Protein backbone atom coordinates (compact mmCIF):
# COMPACT_ATOMS: atom_id res chain seq x y z
CA UNK A 1 0.00 0.00 0.00
CA UNK A 2 1.49 3.38 -0.91
CA UNK A 3 1.86 6.31 1.49
CA UNK A 4 -1.06 8.26 0.03
CA UNK A 5 -3.54 5.46 0.65
CA UNK A 6 -2.21 5.06 4.18
CA UNK A 7 -2.72 8.75 4.78
CA UNK A 8 -6.29 8.59 3.51
CA UNK A 9 -7.10 5.61 5.72
CA UNK A 10 -5.49 7.29 8.70
CA UNK A 11 -7.67 10.39 8.31
CA UNK A 12 -10.84 8.56 7.25
CA UNK A 13 -12.23 8.20 10.78
CA UNK A 14 -11.23 11.66 11.97
CA UNK A 15 -14.18 13.73 13.20
CA UNK A 16 -15.32 16.40 10.79
CA UNK A 17 -14.69 19.90 12.15
CA UNK A 18 -17.50 22.48 12.10
CA UNK A 19 -18.05 26.15 12.41
CA UNK A 20 -20.60 27.54 14.86
CA UNK A 21 -18.50 29.73 17.07
CA UNK A 22 -16.95 31.92 14.39
CA UNK A 23 -19.59 34.62 14.65
CA UNK A 24 -18.94 35.37 18.36
CA UNK A 25 -15.18 35.31 17.86
CA UNK A 26 -15.42 37.62 14.89
CA UNK A 27 -17.60 40.03 16.88
CA UNK A 28 -15.05 39.98 19.70
CA UNK A 29 -12.22 41.08 17.42
CA UNK A 30 -14.30 43.77 15.75
CA UNK A 31 -15.42 45.12 19.10
CA UNK A 32 -11.83 45.26 20.35
CA UNK A 33 -11.01 47.47 17.37
CA UNK A 34 -14.12 49.63 17.25
CA UNK A 35 -14.97 49.79 20.95
CA UNK A 36 -18.54 48.63 20.38
CA UNK A 37 -20.44 46.21 22.60
CA UNK A 38 -20.32 42.67 21.16
CA UNK A 39 -24.01 41.96 21.54
CA UNK A 40 -25.02 45.32 20.07
CA UNK A 41 -23.22 44.62 16.82
CA UNK A 42 -25.39 43.23 14.03
CA UNK A 43 -23.86 40.60 11.79
CA UNK A 44 -25.68 42.10 8.83
CA UNK A 45 -23.31 45.05 8.86
CA UNK A 46 -20.51 42.61 8.13
CA UNK A 47 -22.45 40.67 5.50
CA UNK A 48 -22.86 43.45 2.99
CA UNK A 49 -20.53 46.22 1.87
CA UNK A 50 -23.28 48.68 1.02
CA UNK A 51 -21.75 52.02 1.99
CA UNK A 52 -18.49 53.81 2.70
CA UNK A 53 -19.05 53.32 6.41
CA UNK A 54 -19.45 49.57 5.99
CA UNK A 55 -16.36 49.33 3.81
CA UNK A 56 -14.27 51.28 6.31
CA UNK A 57 -15.56 49.20 9.23
CA UNK A 58 -14.82 45.93 7.48
CA UNK A 59 -11.40 47.08 6.30
CA UNK A 60 -10.46 48.33 9.74
CA UNK A 61 -11.62 45.14 11.37
CA UNK A 62 -9.04 42.96 9.60
CA UNK A 63 -10.81 39.88 10.80
CA UNK A 64 -8.89 36.62 10.86
CA UNK A 65 -10.72 33.86 12.72
CA UNK A 66 -10.15 30.10 13.23
CA UNK A 67 -11.48 26.52 12.73
CA UNK A 68 -10.81 22.94 13.52
CA UNK A 69 -7.87 22.35 11.22
CA UNK A 70 -4.44 22.19 12.83
CA UNK A 71 -1.93 24.25 10.86
CA UNK A 72 1.12 23.34 12.89
CA UNK A 73 2.45 21.38 9.91
CA UNK A 74 2.73 23.46 6.70
CA UNK A 75 0.81 22.21 3.69
CA UNK A 76 2.69 20.97 0.68
CA UNK A 77 2.03 22.38 -2.79
CA UNK A 78 -0.53 19.65 -3.49
CA UNK A 79 -2.37 18.59 -0.32
CA UNK A 80 -3.69 15.05 -0.21
CA UNK A 81 -7.44 14.56 0.13
CA UNK A 82 -9.20 11.72 1.88
CA UNK A 83 -11.87 11.67 -0.81
CA UNK A 84 -9.54 11.29 -3.76
CA UNK A 85 -8.58 13.82 -6.40
CA UNK A 86 -10.38 17.15 -6.22
CA UNK A 87 -12.84 18.16 -8.90
CA UNK A 88 -12.97 21.97 -9.05
CA UNK A 89 -14.77 22.14 -12.38
CA UNK A 90 -17.83 23.73 -10.81
CA UNK A 91 -19.92 24.03 -7.64
CA UNK A 92 -22.02 20.94 -8.28
CA UNK A 93 -18.94 18.74 -8.73
CA UNK A 94 -16.84 20.21 -5.91
CA UNK A 95 -19.60 20.57 -3.33
CA UNK A 96 -21.22 17.29 -4.34
CA UNK A 97 -17.97 15.45 -3.69
CA UNK A 98 -17.64 17.20 -0.33
CA UNK A 99 -21.19 16.19 0.57
CA UNK A 100 -20.58 12.58 -0.47
CA UNK A 101 -17.58 12.41 1.87
CA UNK A 102 -19.36 14.05 4.80
CA UNK A 103 -22.35 11.73 4.51
CA UNK A 104 -20.04 8.78 5.15
CA UNK A 105 -18.75 10.22 8.43
CA UNK A 106 -20.07 9.17 11.81
CA UNK A 107 -22.12 11.87 13.51
CA UNK A 108 -20.50 12.66 16.88
CA UNK A 109 -22.69 13.30 19.92
CA UNK A 110 -24.01 16.79 20.45
CA UNK A 111 -21.98 18.76 23.01
CA UNK A 112 -23.32 18.83 26.54
CA UNK A 113 -24.92 22.05 27.80
CA UNK A 114 -22.05 22.56 30.24
CA UNK A 115 -19.31 22.32 27.60
CA UNK A 116 -17.46 25.13 25.86
CA UNK A 117 -16.36 25.94 22.31
CA UNK A 118 -12.64 26.64 22.04
CA UNK A 119 -11.43 28.84 19.17
CA UNK A 120 -8.00 29.94 18.11
CA UNK A 121 -7.72 33.11 16.05
CA UNK A 122 -4.93 34.29 13.79
CA UNK A 123 -4.55 37.92 12.72
CA UNK A 124 -3.35 40.13 9.95
CA UNK A 125 -4.12 43.30 8.04
CA UNK A 126 -6.13 43.68 4.82
CA UNK A 127 -5.28 45.87 1.85
CA UNK A 128 -5.63 49.59 2.57
CA UNK A 129 -7.34 51.81 0.01
CA UNK A 130 -5.64 54.96 -1.24
CA UNK A 131 -6.99 58.34 -2.26
CA UNK A 132 -7.53 59.02 -5.93
CA UNK A 133 -4.61 61.47 -5.78
CA UNK A 134 -2.38 58.66 -4.46
CA UNK A 135 -2.23 59.84 -0.87
CA UNK A 136 -2.88 57.61 2.12
CA UNK A 137 -6.53 56.92 2.81
CA UNK A 138 -6.15 57.79 6.47
CA UNK A 139 -7.83 54.55 7.55
CA UNK A 140 -6.12 53.01 10.54
CA UNK A 141 -6.08 49.21 10.46
CA UNK A 142 -3.62 48.53 13.24
CA UNK A 143 -5.16 47.76 16.61
CA UNK A 144 -4.37 45.88 19.78
CA UNK A 145 -5.35 42.30 19.09
CA UNK A 146 -7.16 40.18 21.65
CA UNK A 147 -5.84 36.89 22.94
CA UNK A 148 -5.85 34.45 20.00
CA UNK A 149 -7.51 31.81 22.19
CA UNK A 150 -11.15 32.26 23.14
CA UNK A 151 -13.92 30.21 24.70
CA UNK A 152 -17.70 30.58 24.47
CA UNK A 153 -20.33 28.52 26.30
CA UNK A 154 -22.11 25.98 24.11
CA UNK A 155 -25.43 26.58 25.87
CA UNK A 156 -25.82 30.31 26.48
CA UNK A 157 -29.36 30.86 27.72
CA UNK A 158 -28.86 34.58 28.31
CA UNK A 159 -27.84 35.11 24.69
CA UNK A 160 -30.69 32.92 23.41
CA UNK A 161 -33.24 34.96 25.32
CA UNK A 162 -31.89 38.30 24.14
CA UNK A 163 -34.43 39.34 21.50
CA UNK A 164 -32.65 42.59 20.69
CA UNK A 165 -30.47 40.83 18.13
CA UNK A 166 -32.49 38.74 15.69
CA UNK A 167 -29.39 37.65 13.77
CA UNK A 168 -27.13 36.19 16.45
CA UNK A 169 -27.34 32.47 17.19
CA UNK A 170 -25.54 30.62 19.96
CA UNK A 171 -23.55 27.47 19.25
CA UNK A 172 -26.39 25.29 20.59
CA UNK A 173 -29.01 27.12 18.52
CA UNK A 174 -26.90 26.82 15.37
CA UNK A 175 -26.36 23.11 15.95
CA UNK A 176 -30.11 22.52 16.18
CA UNK A 177 -30.84 24.74 13.18
CA UNK A 178 -28.37 22.76 11.07
CA UNK A 179 -29.51 19.35 12.32
CA UNK A 180 -33.17 20.14 11.52
CA UNK A 181 -32.59 21.41 7.98
CA UNK A 182 -34.58 19.57 5.28
CA UNK A 183 -32.91 17.47 2.61
CA UNK A 184 -34.30 19.28 -0.45
CA UNK A 185 -32.02 22.21 -1.38
CA UNK A 186 -34.88 24.59 -2.18
CA UNK A 187 -36.59 23.88 1.14
CA UNK A 188 -33.30 24.13 3.02
CA UNK A 189 -32.53 27.54 1.57
CA UNK A 190 -36.02 28.80 2.34
CA UNK A 191 -35.64 27.64 5.94
CA UNK A 192 -32.32 29.45 6.36
CA UNK A 193 -33.70 32.66 4.87
CA UNK A 194 -36.32 32.62 7.62
CA UNK A 195 -33.72 32.00 10.31
CA UNK A 196 -31.49 34.83 9.06
CA UNK A 197 -33.92 37.45 7.69
CA UNK A 198 -32.86 39.93 5.07
CA UNK A 199 -32.04 43.55 5.79
CA UNK A 200 -34.65 46.20 6.43
CA UNK A 201 -34.45 49.80 7.50
CA UNK A 202 -30.99 51.03 8.54
CA UNK A 203 -29.33 47.75 7.57
CA UNK A 204 -30.25 48.29 3.93
CA UNK A 205 -32.97 47.13 1.56
CA UNK A 206 -33.97 43.46 1.37
CA UNK A 207 -31.60 41.25 -0.57
CA UNK A 208 -32.56 39.36 -3.70
CA UNK A 209 -33.31 35.70 -3.05
CA UNK A 210 -29.98 34.25 -4.23
CA UNK A 211 -27.84 36.80 -2.40
CA UNK A 212 -29.95 36.27 0.72
CA UNK A 213 -29.50 32.50 0.43
CA UNK A 214 -25.71 32.71 0.04
CA UNK A 215 -25.38 35.11 2.93
CA UNK A 216 -27.55 32.92 5.19
CA UNK A 217 -25.47 29.87 4.25
CA UNK A 218 -22.24 31.70 5.02
CA UNK A 219 -23.52 32.76 8.44
CA UNK A 220 -24.50 29.21 9.38
CA UNK A 221 -21.20 27.83 8.12
CA UNK A 222 -19.37 30.04 10.59
CA UNK A 223 -20.93 27.94 13.36
CA UNK A 224 -19.22 25.22 15.36
CA UNK A 225 -20.05 22.40 15.61
CA UNK A 226 -22.31 21.33 12.74
CA UNK A 227 -23.11 17.61 12.29
CA UNK A 228 -21.38 16.22 9.17
CA UNK A 229 -24.64 15.04 7.59
CA UNK A 230 -26.13 18.51 8.05
CA UNK A 231 -23.01 20.10 6.56
CA UNK A 232 -23.43 17.80 3.55
CA UNK A 233 -26.98 19.09 3.01
CA UNK A 234 -25.76 22.66 3.31
CA UNK A 235 -23.09 22.10 0.64
CA UNK A 236 -25.56 20.48 -1.76
CA UNK A 237 -27.92 23.43 -1.33
CA UNK A 238 -25.13 25.94 -1.83
CA UNK A 239 -24.32 24.44 -5.20
CA UNK A 240 -27.83 25.32 -6.43
CA UNK A 241 -27.66 29.06 -5.61
CA UNK A 242 -27.51 31.14 -8.77
CA UNK A 243 -24.18 32.93 -9.19
CA UNK A 244 -22.18 30.54 -7.00
CA UNK A 245 -18.88 29.45 -8.53
CA UNK A 246 -15.81 27.49 -7.45
CA UNK A 247 -12.30 28.74 -8.19
CA UNK A 248 -10.66 26.18 -10.48
CA UNK A 249 -7.52 25.97 -8.34
CA UNK A 250 -6.71 25.95 -4.64
CA UNK A 251 -6.00 29.35 -3.09
CA UNK A 252 -3.97 30.38 -0.03
CA UNK A 253 -5.94 31.38 3.04
CA UNK A 254 -4.79 33.82 5.73
CA UNK A 255 -2.80 31.09 7.49
CA UNK A 256 -1.03 29.96 4.32
CA UNK A 257 -3.03 26.75 3.79
CA UNK A 258 -4.31 25.76 0.37
CA UNK A 259 -8.10 25.71 0.35
CA UNK A 260 -11.12 25.49 -1.92
CA UNK A 261 -12.87 28.81 -2.64
CA UNK A 262 -16.64 28.83 -3.22
CA UNK A 263 -17.51 32.30 -4.45
CA UNK A 264 -20.38 34.63 -5.25
CA UNK A 265 -20.24 38.31 -6.15
CA UNK A 266 -22.35 40.67 -4.07
CA UNK A 267 -25.29 41.92 -6.13
CA UNK A 268 -24.54 45.31 -7.63
CA UNK A 269 -21.05 45.53 -6.14
CA UNK A 270 -17.50 44.95 -7.28
CA UNK A 271 -16.71 42.62 -4.40
CA UNK A 272 -17.10 38.85 -4.10
CA UNK A 273 -17.52 36.75 -0.98
CA UNK A 274 -15.42 33.59 -0.85
CA UNK A 275 -16.31 30.74 1.48
CA UNK A 276 -13.18 28.66 2.07
CA UNK A 277 -13.27 24.88 2.52
CA UNK A 278 -10.48 22.54 3.57
CA UNK A 279 -9.64 20.12 0.72
CA UNK A 280 -8.73 17.30 3.14
CA UNK A 281 -11.83 16.93 5.30
CA UNK A 282 -14.16 19.52 3.70
CA UNK A 283 -14.54 21.51 6.90
CA UNK A 284 -15.07 25.25 6.86
CA UNK A 285 -11.69 26.99 6.64
CA UNK A 286 -12.64 30.67 6.61
CA UNK A 287 -13.77 33.39 4.24
CA UNK A 288 -12.56 36.32 2.19
CA UNK A 289 -14.04 39.42 0.58
CA UNK A 290 -12.11 40.28 -2.59
CA UNK A 291 -12.39 43.31 -4.86
CA UNK A 292 -13.28 42.18 -8.39
CA UNK A 293 -12.88 45.48 -10.24
CA UNK A 294 -10.84 48.59 -9.50
CA UNK A 295 -13.30 51.27 -8.38
CA UNK A 296 -13.66 54.43 -6.34
CA UNK A 297 -15.76 55.17 -3.29
CA UNK A 298 -16.59 58.77 -2.51
CA UNK A 299 -15.27 60.24 0.72
CA UNK A 300 -17.00 62.68 3.06
CA UNK A 301 -15.79 66.20 3.66
CA UNK A 302 -14.64 66.88 0.11
CA UNK A 303 -11.70 64.49 0.33
CA UNK A 304 -10.47 62.67 -2.73
CA UNK A 305 -12.33 59.36 -3.35
CA UNK A 306 -10.78 56.17 -2.05
CA UNK A 307 -9.63 53.66 -4.63
CA UNK A 308 -10.04 49.92 -4.20
CA UNK A 309 -7.98 47.88 -6.64
CA UNK A 310 -8.92 44.59 -8.22
CA UNK A 311 -7.57 41.77 -6.06
CA UNK A 312 -7.58 43.79 -2.82
CA UNK A 313 -8.68 41.60 0.09
CA UNK A 314 -11.08 43.40 2.44
CA UNK A 315 -11.75 40.46 4.75
CA UNK A 316 -9.42 37.49 5.17
CA UNK A 317 -10.61 34.98 7.76
CA UNK A 318 -8.68 31.78 8.50
CA UNK A 319 -10.00 29.33 11.06
CA UNK A 320 -7.11 27.24 12.35
CA UNK A 321 -8.50 25.58 15.44
CA UNK A 322 -11.87 24.87 17.04
CA UNK A 323 -12.99 22.17 19.43
CA UNK A 324 -15.50 21.23 22.09
CA UNK A 325 -13.89 21.28 25.55
CA UNK A 326 -15.12 20.64 29.09
CA UNK A 327 -14.15 23.96 30.67
CA UNK A 328 -13.30 27.52 29.85
CA UNK A 329 -9.54 27.85 29.52
CA UNK A 330 -9.05 24.24 28.44
CA UNK A 331 -7.27 23.57 25.16
CA UNK A 332 -7.60 20.40 23.09
Is residue 331 situated within a structural domain? no
Is residue 66 situated within a structural domain? yes
Is residue 311 situated within a structural domain? yes
Answer yes or no: is pLDDT of 4 > 90. Answer: no
Answer yes or no: is pLDDT of 269 > 70. Answer: yes
Q: What total of structural domains would you count in the chain?
A: 1
Answer yes or no: is pLDDT of 40 > 50. Answer: no
Is residue 330 situated within a structural domain? no
Residue 197 neighbours by CB distance under 10 Å:
15
Average pLDDT over residues 2-30: 42
Is residue 51 situated within a structural domain? yes
DSSP string of 22-53, one letter each residue:
HHHHHHHHHHHHH---TTT--THHHH---SHH
33-47, 116-130, 278-292: which has the minimum mean pLDDT?
33-47
Is residue 203 situated within a structural domain? yes
Average pLDDT over residues 122-139: 61
Q: Rounded to 5 degrees, what are φ and ψ at 31?
A: -65, -35
Is residue 332 situated within a structural domain? no
Report yes or no on whether pTM surpasses 0.95.
no
- At 54 the three-state DSSP class reads helix
Answer yes or no: is pLDDT of 64 > 50. Answer: no
Query: How far, in Å, are 2, 18, 152, 225 from residue 171 at the CA level?
Result: 40, 11, 8, 7
- Residue 319 has a pLDDT of 87
Instruction: Provide the domain limits for residue 314.
Output: 3-325
Amino acid sequence: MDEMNRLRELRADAPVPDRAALAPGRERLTDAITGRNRRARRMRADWRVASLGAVVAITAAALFITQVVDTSAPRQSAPATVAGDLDLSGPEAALGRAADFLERQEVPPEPRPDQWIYLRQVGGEPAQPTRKDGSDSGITVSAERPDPDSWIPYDDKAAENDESDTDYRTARESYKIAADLPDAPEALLAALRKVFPTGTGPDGPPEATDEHSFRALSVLLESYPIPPDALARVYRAMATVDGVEVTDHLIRDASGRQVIAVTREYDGQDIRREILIDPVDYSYAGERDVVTRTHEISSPGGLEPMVYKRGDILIDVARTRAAVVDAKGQKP
